[in-house]
Amino acid sequence: MKFFIDTANLDQIAEAKALGILDGATTNPSLMAKEGISGKQNIFDHYAKICAIVDGDVSAEVISTDLEGMKREAHELVEIAPNIVIKIPMIKDGVKALSYLTGEGIRTNCTLIFSLGQALLAAKAGASYISPFIGRIDDTTWDGISLIRDIAEMFAIQGYETEILAASIRNSNHIVQSAMAGADIVTCPLNPILGLLKHPLTDIGLEKFLADHKKANS
Ligand code: G3P
């Protein structure tokens, strides 16, 4: 499973890259706003900075909700860097845009996926990635991980190459469970990634190894 970081924060992106496990990044208008980035040129400049840090794909989201607007934005965004992937919302014109951009050879990530039907439609339209929102599904008292498992099964049966990008990850267990459910990629903030490496028995064990070494070598 590939690891993407879900943030527009350059320090966090650089820290994840320094871990040596970073395969890509995703952003959205809310994450850009959280970093105080506004205005078209500033947003484009910020995408360029992210693309310069990240070796893999970087999802940049359109803000238009009509086909022509999405096409125009997509053509502008792909000029920023070769690793830009266009993030398109799961709405009717979004499906048309997925189909059109796929035909143009432009890679896409269909976002705001909450059902098997939406996943199927996005894959049929040629999306390179689909982003089911695990945490937001859990918020509704349904089970986000079970959606990942079902989509993985459906894509395997149908032979779709669209990659399942588990998004709206809220904790380290979401990452592990996404891997077990068949996600191709997980995208999450830095903290759930760092949470994967923590275990008190590791700390206790290391402390004892170092203490024993010190005793034997003093
Ligand atoms: O990848 C989508 C993500 O940014 C949304 O996360 O926590 O707002 O549901 P959240």
Model pLDDT for residues 101-157, shown as the tens digit of each residue: 999 999 999 999 999 999 999 999 999 999 999 999 999 999 999 999 999 999 999
- Give residue 3 CA to ligand 1 midpoint distance, Å: 15
Q: 121: which residues sit within 8 A by CB, 6+ positions away?
A: 90, 95
**Among 164, 93, 166, residue whose Cα is nearest residue 125:** 93
- Structure-token pair, residue 201: 């028995």
**pTM for the structure as a whole:** 0.96
- Band of pLDDT at residue 31, cut at 50, 70 and 90: very high
164: number of Cβ within 10 Å:
28
Residues having CB closer than 6 A to ligand 1 are: 6, 26, 28, 31, 133, 135-136, 167-168, 170, 187
The pLDDT value recorded for residue 116 is 98
Give me the phi and psi of 7, to 5 degrees please. Answer: -165, 160
The residues carrying an active-site annotation are: 87
For residues 149 and 181, the answer to whether their CB atoms sit within 8 Å is yes
For residues 50 and 31, the answer to whether their CB atoms sit within 8 Å is no
The pLDDT value recorded for residue 134 is 98
Percent of residues, the chain, with pLDDT higher than 70: 100
- Give residue 122 CA to ligand 1 midpoint distance, Å: 19
The pLDDT value recorded for residue 17 is 97
Q: What is the DSSP letter of 133?
A: B
